[in-house]
Amino acid sequence: MLTAIAVPVLVVLLVLANLRDDEPADPPVDVSGPSTSARADLPVLEVPVPPATPETDAACPRFMTDLPVELAGERSRPVRSDTPYAYAWGEPPVVLRCGVERPAGFVVGGPQLFVLNGVAWFVDTTDPDVNVFTVVDRSVYVELAIPSSIDSEPAISLSPLITATLPYQEPQPGA
């Protein structure tokens, strides 16, 4: 009998406690403006990539996961490739590929080798439309194809992430 009286009284007290409004309601949050995580509204870019190797599968995922949505003022764009180790920004696109082959013509100390923010980049400028920057001092090679109308800002911006996520390795020039 005590339970039959106590339960309804308890329910009434809980309802009254919830109806009481001593604290002002939080104001609504302003969510207007562009989303900071949305990709650019550009067509899907086909990006050829070399087959994944045990080295790329070990090194590239952490690096790729931390890539910025925006690079040098350009938003990322959708890509399609045979591995998850490709990414792109803007139009004309800046294209990144993780786990590529050693660049042809790479020589330690050569005139095409630049250190940007602690990362050694081999730069191939033979194509008048695209400068190809390739990281040559990490456990895997990372290639960044930058339209020649853009300076080296994308490579400079990505260098700290490369340093933080890809283990250093002494550069291994080709024969």
Tell whether 52 is covered by a domain. yes
- Residue 1 inside a domain? The answer is no
How much is the pLDDT for 24?
46
Domain assignment present for residue 106? The answer is: no
What are the residues whose beta carbons fall under 8 Å from the beta carbon of 94, sequence distance 6 or more? 71, 72, 74, 88, 144, 145, 146, 147, 150, 154
Q: What confidence score (pLDDT) does residue 35 get?
A: 42
The model carries a pTM of: 0.77
Residue 141 domain boundaries: 45-101+111-165
Any domain includes 37: no
Domains identified in the chain, total number: 1
Average pLDDT of the chain, as a whole number: 84
Identify the segments of the chain with pLDDT beneath 70: 1-37, 174-175
Q: Is position 34 within any domain?
A: no
The reply to whether 133 falls in a domain is: yes
pLDDT at 30: 36
Proportion of the chain above pLDDT 90, given as a percent:
71
Residue 155 forms part of a structural domain? yes
**Residue 9 placed within a domain:** no
